[in-house]
Copies of this chain bind each other. A is one copy, B any other.
């Protein structure tokens, strides 16, 4: 019985690795530049982005579900944002356990300033792809997200 040849794995071709590496690059490209300026980090930004999408109060739990971020992380991020005066906490009328979150005017201002910068940065990163390729990327991400049972983009 001869020894079977070892199966090799090229890390650089291994999708989980490639995704992690690329995701880290995306984060660096964004966080480094703009977020430090407003005293916020990625978890804070996720809360901000979730609250900024609609002008309605949202519960912390909603943010958790939306962003797949651990609730302790969300809780702490909300704490920072409240301290910074970007977010206001309020009790929910119907369920007094829930903490309803809303952007303050100051928070909305930061959001309004941050969004164009981040979108521009995203644009710069994706500019290496043709329009067709971008559509492909969207489609592939959709399928992968669906297969992981991640919350999809509604509209």
A66 to B21, CA, bound (A): 11
Indicate if A39 sits at the interface (CB-CB under 8 A).
Answer: no
Instruction: Tell me how many chains of this kind the complex includes.
Output: 2
A17 to B148, CA, bound (A): 15
Indicate if A68 sits at the interface (CB-CB under 8 A).
Answer: yes
Per-position binary interface string of chain A over residues 1-42, scored 1 when its CB falls under 8 Å from any chain B CB and 0 otherwise? 000001111111111111111111111011000000000000
Contact among B17, B23, B111, B150 for A19, CB-based, below 8 A? B23
A140 to B140, CA, bound (A): 10
The answer to whether B112 and A6 have CB atoms under 8 Å apart is yes
Considering the complex, give the chain B residue whose CB is closest to the CB of A155.
B10
A17 to B22, CA, bound (A): 11
